Structures are given as C-alpha cells and as structure tokens.
Amino acid sequence: MTHWGQIVVMVLSLAVGFGLGFYLRRYLVGEQIKKQRQQAEQMLDEARKEASEIVLAAKDEAIKIKDRAEKELDRRRAGLRREEERLQRRREKLDHRQERMERWEQSLNKRQSALDKQRNQVEKLQQERLVTLERVAGLSKEEAKQELLAAVEEECRQDMARVIRQVEAEAKEEADARAREIITYAIQRMASEQVAEMTVAAVPLPSDDMKGRIIGRGGRNIRAFEKIAGVDVVVDDTPEAITISSFDPVRREIARRAMERLISDGRIHPARIEKVVADRRKEVERIIREEGERAAYEAGVPGLHPELIKLLGRLKFRTSYGQNQHAHALETARLAGMLAEELGANAEVARLGGLLHDIGKAIDFETEGTHARIGAEICRRYGVSEEVVHCIESHHHEVEQHSIEAIIVEAADAISGARPGARRESLELYLKRIKALEEIANSFKGVKESYAIQAGREIRVIVEPEEIDDLATIQLSKDIARKLEESMEYPGQIRVTVIREVRAEEYAK
C-alpha cells in the first residue's frame, strides 16, 4: 500500500469514529435527560403531596385555635357578666347604707340640738352657782383658786419631804449595810500595822561636843556638808541632836544617813564628807530601786517602767500627815484590789491605780501642779493605760470620775488615810479645820447654830424653822456637803446633819 493509501484509510477511520461517537453521545445524553425529567416529575409529585398534607394540617390547627379562642372569649364574657352582677349588688347595698347614714345623720343633728340646749342651761346654772358662791364666800374665782393652790402646794411639799426622807433613809440604810459589808470583807482580808512608819530629820548626837566638830573651824565642815548634800543643817539648843531640813525627802534621807556615818566614824572634814555623801547616795538609790520593786511585787502589778519603779521607791522617804506614802500606796493598792473583787470590777486596773495614785508626791516639791495631775502625766508618759491614769487624776475629783475603778481607788485611799492611827494632825490644824467647818455651815441663810463634833467627822446644823421648811432642810444638807467638798481638804468623809425643830403653840382662853 502506498503512502497515500494509508492516509486515505486513516481519514476514513477518523470520519467513521467521529460519526459513531457523535451518535453514541447524543443517544446517551437523551437517555440521561429523560431520566432526570422522570426524577423531577417524581419529586414534584412528592412535593405536591407534602404541600397538600401541610395545608390540611394548617387548616386543622387553625380550626383548633379558633375553637380555643371562642371558648376563652365565652369564658371571659361569662366572667364579665358575673362581675357586673356583683357590682350591681354592691351598688344596691351602698345605696341602702347611704340611706341609713342619712337617716342617722338627721337623728344626730336632732340630738346635737338637744345637747346644745342642755349645755346652755348647764352653763347658765354653773354661772349662777359661781355668782352665789362668790357672794357667800366673799372671794372671787381667782382668789379662791390661789388659796386652793397654795393649800395643795403646802400639802404636796409636806408629802414630798416625807417621801424623800423615807426613800433616802431606806436607800441609805441599804447602801450603808452593803458598804459596811464590802469594806469589812476587804479589811478582814488585809492585815496592816496601825501606825505607819514616819521618816524623821533629827540626828541624835553622842554628846553636845560633837556639834562643834560638825560645825568645824570657821564653819567649814557644816558649809561643806550643806553644799555637797544640798540640805540645811540646823544646830540649835536642842540637847544632843541636830536637825536636817530639805524639801526633797530623798536628799534629806541621804544627808541623815551621811551625818550618822560621819558621827559614828568621828572623822569630819570636807573631803571625808564628800566621800561619805556619795556612798550614802548610792546606798539610798539602791534602797529606792529595791523598795519600788518590792512594792510592785507585793501589789501584784509586774511589768512597770523602771522610772515608775524608781518613783515608787522614792515614796519610801515621803510622808503625809505622818503617814509613810510608800506604805500608804501599797495599802491602797491592796484595798482597791479587794474592793474591786467584791464588786465585780476590774481588779487589775483598781490595784495598779491604787499603787500609783500618789506617785506624783515623789516629785511634787520640784514640779508645779497638784500631785494627782503630776502623777497622771508621769504615768501617761511611761505607757500606763488610760483607765489607770483616769483613776490617778480623778482620786481628788480634779477630773470627773467616769469608771467604777476610779471610785474604788478613791474609797481605798480614804480608808487607808482615815483609819485610826494612820495619820497625825497638829492641834493648830485641827482647830482651824473645826472652825472652818462651822464657818461654812453658818454662811448659809437660815442657819441658827452649827457644831462640829466627832473630831470633825460630823457637823450638826440647827436652822430657823420659820425660814427653812422640811423640804429645804434636805437641800441645805446637800448644799453644805457640796461646799465642804469644794473648799476643804480632809481625810475620809464628813457627815452633815441638819436639824429643824417644830413647835406648835396655842393659848386657851
């Protein structure tokens, strides 16, 4: 076969293949389209069926909703009809009630008219009776009222005074019994000496010849001693004794001990004096520290600041009316603690307040102010609690007391200072105090006489019965007591008794 023949065969083969493929493709596409049309028609039929079913269901649901709505509407209409009927019945009842109220109001108006007529008649009768009474009694209405009020006032004052006396007597009896019981329990629990130790400034001498040696040539020894010790040495006509004077009790004690050492040793000259005074100063400082620690330990108040311990020890050489202040502070602390335990108060605060209440007396000679305020400021400076500081600054009423512990500390201080043998008082001071008591009582209006008795523990006041009535006697006793508290200082308490004598006189004719 030639080359051209092969080409013809190939062209014919391609043509036949192309025609066969075109025929097959057209046939297959037609079949596929036919199948898709059948499937679409089938799906359309199914959709129509489903839509018909949905429409039917929707119609059924709409019918049901409509039925429910009609039923609900019927129910509400029935409720409205019932409510309307109820309101109608209530309206009818209100109409009936209004009719009854109108009839009742008419009846009340008639009664009010009758009452007004009767009231007018009564007022007219009362006016006529008042005019008749004023004519018979010879007094007007206001004058009679004033006399009646005066009589009632006088009667009420008498009754009031009687009731006040009765209540005060009952309260005082009960309070005195309870106070005696508490104080007795506290004192029974504490035993102390009757007379407190007293520091003296007199130094005994073996003979009067020792006075010359103490003075020294040209007075050099006594001048050196006074300069080094900081005291005044009084050498007078007192046999076999000299006196050491100083406002500082510690300095006075150092000088006393140094003088006793110099006298016993016999060597008295300026150099020896300086050494002995220095040794005695160290000795007294050691005693002060030991006494302060002992007081804190015996009072049961550990943990005090060292400066407070030192000030407590200094009270060992301080006295008041002959009473040693170190022993007084310790005794007051014990009494305050016991009283607080009996009364259910804070015993720790009361005990510490009692121990430190007079600590200001350790330096009151070198600091301006009262010992209570000085002591309170010192304790506040060294970290003592405000409750204890209040007990200290208020135990002489320089500050108003606002705690039971402060009152307990004041009572313990008074008990310790007022018990027999605790303090001594000169005759001159005693007479001045008695005179001052009577002068204060006599300064009040209506007082006829006054007498201070029981060593100044009680003052009896006799009043003029024409000027002071029963009620005024009670007030007078309180006024006198208040003025005594404000203007005088005294240990313990002073009883004020006001006496009013009533005399009734009449003559038989």
Query: Mean pLDDT per segment of 10 residues, for the chain of length 509 residues?
Result: 69 74 67 78 83 85 88 89 90 88 88 87 82 70 72 71 72 66 56 41 82 86 88 82 84 89 87 91 91 88 88 85 82 89 88 90 80 90 91 87 90 76 57 85 90 82 86 88 84 82 72
Across 10-22, b (16+ Cβ under 10 Å) vs e yields eeeeeeeeeeeee
- The token pair at 372 is 């209570």
In sequence order, the 6+-apart residues with CB closer than 8 A to the CB of 258 are: 225, 229, 273, 276, 277, 279, 280
Tokens 């009670």, residue located: 474
Query: 319-320 and 323-324 as β-strands: parallel, antiparallel, unpaired?
Result: antiparallel
Q: Which of 426, 423, 424 is closest to 413 using CA atoms?
A: 423
In angstroms, the CA 448 to CA 471 distance is 17
In angstroms, the CA 459 to CA 477 distance is 10
Model pTM?
A: 0.49
For residue 185, what pLDDT is reported?
A: 57
For residue 207, what pLDDT is reported?
A: 83
The amino acid sitting at 127 is Q
Query: 319-320 and 447-453 as β-strands: parallel, antiparallel, unpaired?
Result: unpaired
Three-state DSSP state, 216: coil
- Cβ burial of 7 (10 Å; 0-12, 13-18, 19+) is exposed
For residue 423, what pLDDT is reported?
A: 59
For residue 196, what pLDDT is reported?
A: 36
For residue 147, what pLDDT is reported?
A: 72
In angstroms, the CA 498 to CA 445 distance is 13
For residue 234, what pLDDT is reported?
A: 85
Q: Which of 237, 234, 271, 232 is closest to 255 using CA atoms?
A: 232
CB atoms within 10 A of CB 167: 10
